[in-house]
Structure 1
Amino acid sequence: MRGTKNSLRPYRSWLVVAAASVLVVALLLALALTSSVQDGLRRSLYPLNHEQTIRSASDEYGIESALVAAVIHTESEFDPDARSDQNAYGLMQIVPDTARNISRQSGIEGDYREPRVNIQMGVWYLDHLEDRYAGSERLMLAAYNSGEGTVDGWLQDESFNVRQDIPYPETASYVVDVRETRDAYAELYGSDLGRTD
């Protein structure tokens, strides 16, 4: 009997190694599945539609595609029929007066509520604001949310510090939300939203 026990010892070692290997493989598969589920969940929280139009307008005006997607997500959650209490329309929530001004200055024509035109106008406007505020993303986003006149008024105060002093809580929150959402879009889809060309 003792001889049989000793002769089984190498098999037991092999069984322990095999069981440990199976456990490691199972854990790796569970981790991969969990990561895939998490990625799918994050993509459902940060959907991406109209990516060709976003990339095209972003390329034309030099604005990061992930930032445009973040503005759309924050403004309308990609609802092309969104309408605010202030009568802002579409994916990028453009008000009629701003749409007329953009059309006049940019030459972009069409119904500003239609997704393609709305995105083109919104990205043109972001570029305009970026130029107006010397590349300051925080000021650009603050002006997109609260208006150029409002931001210009803040800048009249010599003690104004854009990193600390956005006086409207909604606008301060908007700037933070867009920037965090941009980071999520860049992480999920790439800063150019998965360009394949």
Structure 2
Amino acid sequence: MAATGTKRSRDSGEFRTYGRHHRRRPGGGFLALVVILMLVAAGVYGLYNLVTEPPESVQRAVYPLEYRDTIVEAAEAYAVEPTLVAAVIYTESRYDPEAVSSQNAQGLMQITPETADFIQNNSGITGEFTDPYINIWMGTWQLSYLEGRYFGDERAMLAAYNSGQGNVDSWLAEPGFRIESDIPFTETRNYVDHVLERQDIYRELYGGNLNRDS
């Protein structure tokens, strides 16, 4: 009696339902999906690298360096790191010479008329403080003055540049006060952090003396 079931003889003309002749292989749709996923992954990876490690040209566009010669000359004259001056200008005005704050601080380094009078009376710098070149010289002198006042403490110097000497003096007079962590003004605390972070960026992009062109 002939056996019944799914297995058929080769002579019957019917295909077997098992064996290598019917092994399933990936179809064209599956391969296309794999290729698409690989391309998407490559694109995401490339975008991640672009965001986390943008080309130097992109970084320089974000952190420009204008008035380089004036910054370097003023920094050298007053013994201030030029990268610090560049970082202060970026943080204060984004290199906009016409910037004016709500407190009437003006120019690249955001100097108020009262501070300009103080600087002119003590530095010998003359000229209109809103002029971008004079503004840089005045702001750099002020940084040098504050650096000396606070014995080279950059955080205290920057805090005073932002919020005034009176505030910093009163903070430092408090027992146990630490300039690294205890600045009570959020704006000033953030300002100090941002300037120091951007100083590192300017140093990396343009060199410690801002003399690296590429």
TM over 0.5: yes
2:87 corresponds to 1:70? yes
Call closer, same or farther: CA 1:195–1:40 in 2, change over 3 Å: closer
Please state if 1:181 is matched with 2:198: yes
Partner of residue 60, structure 1 = 77
Q: CA deviation at 1:140?
A: 0.3
1:172 — aligned with what? 189
- Residue 40 of structure 1: aligned partner: 57
Kindly provide the amino acid, as one letter, of the partner of residue 179 in structure 1. Answer: L
**Distance (whole Å) between structure 1 residues aligned to residue 83 and residue 152 of structure 2:** 17
- Match of 2:146? 129
Unpaired stretches in structure 1, ≥5 consecutive residues: 1-29
Distance 1:158 1:138 in 2: 18
Once the two structures are superposed, residues 97-138 of structure 1 have per-residue CA deviations (whole angstroms, 9 ceiling, x without a partner) of 000000000010000000110000000000000000010000
Counterpart of 1:40, as a letter, is S
* Number of residues of Structure 1 aligned to a counterpart in Structure 2: 163
Aligned-residue RMSD, C-alpha: 1.6
Q: Give the secondary-structure state (helix, strand or coil) at the position aligned to 2:128.
A: coil
| TM score, norm. by length of structure 2 | 0.74
Q: Does 1:118 align with 2:123?
A: no
Q: Write the distance in 2 (CA, Å) between the matches of 1:187 and 1:37.
A: 13
Question: Residue 140 of structure 1 aligns with which residue?
Answer: 157
Runs of 4+ that moved beyond 6 A: none
- In structure 1, the partner of 2:114 is 97
The offset of 1:159, in angstroms, is 1.4
Task: Give the C-alpha shift of residue 146 in structure 1.
Answer: 0.4
Q: Does 1:155 align with 2:169?
A: no
Amino acid at match of 2:171: W
Q: What percent of counterpart residues are identical? A: 51
One-letter amino acid matched to 1:99: A
- Which is helix-richer, 1 or 2? 1
Match of 2:100 among 79, 83, 101: 83
93 and 123 in structure 1: CA distance in 2 versus 1, 3 angstrom threshold: same
For 1:108, the equivalent position in structure 2 comes to: 125
* Residue 195 of structure 1: how far off its partner (Å): 6.2
What is the match of residue 7 of structure 2? none
> Which string of whole-angstrom CA distances, capped at 9 and with x for unpartnered residues, describes residues 162-197 of structure 1?
11101111100000000000000000001111169x
CA gap of 1:37–1:166, structure 2 versus 1, over 3 A, is closer
Shift of the alpha carbon at 1:37? 6.4
Shift of 1:38: 1.0
* TM superposition shift of 1:89: 0.4
Q: Which runs of 5+ in 2 are unaligned?
A: 1-45
